[in-house]
Amino acid sequence: MSVTLVESCAARLRESAAFRSKRDIGCVAARVEDAPRAVASWAERPARIALGDDTAAIPDGDGYLLLAAEGMIPEFLDRDPYFAGWSSVMVNVSDVAAMGGYPLAVVDVYFHAPSSQVDAVLAGIRDASTAYGAPLVGGHTTRRDSGPHALAVAILGRADHLMTSSGARPGDSILFAVDLRGEYRGDWPFWSATAGRSASDLRSNLAVLGRLADAGLVHACKDVSNAGVAGTLLMMLESSGVGATLDLDRLPIPVGVDMDRWLLTFPSFGFLFAVTPPHLAAVQAVLRAEGVVCEDVGRVDATRTLRLGRRGDQALLWDLGAAPFTGFSRHGFEHGASTVEPAGAP
């Protein structure tokens, strides 16, 4: 029996370095509590907030403080120092937006060597902080006489209403929203739609997610990361304890870009949403008004598997019942912990 196009595609994704890096998260997931006991001291909420999202949500009055951090690999700092600095802020701001929030401030930790292009890295951080309205308010810098350099940036944000990646439910539609007005950054798997864009445009695009959270139109949300759209959807499904079919024929893709490359692309603006069908058109309208492409690309079910569909064929990408992906799963919660549901979810 011949291997179909979509089966070959699924095999390449499973064997990719990006998928392996997400599976490595399981080493950490097995050693931490799914819903930290410290949350009990945050008396503002009765439920304990489970881990698994890119941003931690800390109850704060009527809303939530959001805390996240990202590190840049040394090769990225070496080959594209300005964009590495920019990206260190951009990815943090996207993580906060995916939770329905807005940024308050960032801090950096930067270890640099004599060969480091310090000015370019800091210029990228500074320009992105200005563009996204996330001021750099402090951090830690150390000069090393030898060895690789390293950069990590942490962000503090806030949300009035929360979106998580653990609220997807059987019957939900899967929306993929992505800004196709860009290009690849060299040979990196990064699709950048930020060049030439005004700060007001970039902020307006991300502010849409807060409006969606406030309106209660979305069951789950996750920003597309280095695992690409399929890997990010798999993380959402794992966190929610559900499954889905992803229709690759309906996936928005830039003109002239190969599907294999696109499936492992990290876009500067890319988000997945789980939305009940009656809210589908409303969510699409809000995002499309920002010039963002937003398409219905699949359906959530109860199988705990992710299947890819293409040109009439289907292939199993992952069976979460047989093997974890990151290890952060609703099915793995202990101590009777409960998750915080997205505000306004029926």
Whole-prediction pTM: 0.89
pLDDT at 332 over 70: no
More confident site: 45 or 143: 143
Which parts of 59-145 fold into alpha helices (H)?
A: 74-79, 81-98, 118-132
The dihedrals phi and psi of 246, each to the nearest 5 degrees, come to: -105, 120
Please, which pLDDT band fits residue 41 given cuts at 50, 70 and 90?
low
pLDDT at 33: 62
**DSSP characters for 268-316?**
SSEEEEEE-GGGHHHHHHHHHTTT-EEEEEEEEESSSEEEEEETTEEEE
pLDDT at 296: 98
Question: What mean pLDDT is predicted for residues 129-151?
Answer: 90
Please, which pLDDT band fits residue 342 given cuts at 50, 70 and 90?
very low
CB 97 within 8 A of CB 158: no
pLDDT at 115 over 70: yes
Question: What mean pLDDT is predicted for residues 294-320?
Answer: 96
Please, which pLDDT band fits residue 30 given cuts at 50, 70 and 90?
low
pLDDT at 240: 93
How does the average pLDDT of the chain come out, rounded? 88
- Percentage of the chain modeled with pLDDT above 70: 87
Report for 30-34, 78-82, 144-148: range of highest mean pLDDT? 78-82
Partner residues linked to 143 by β-bridges: 112
More confident site: 190 or 345: 190
Question: What mean pLDDT is predicted for residues 246-273?
Answer: 96
Please, which pLDDT band fits residue 334 given cuts at 50, 70 and 90?
very low
Residue 284 is encoded by which pair of tokens? 């699409």
More confident site: 333 or 312: 312
pLDDT digits (tens, 9 = 90+) for 234-249: 999 999 999 999 999 9
Domains of the chain: 5-25+163-332 (3.90.650.10), 56-159 (3.30.1330.10)
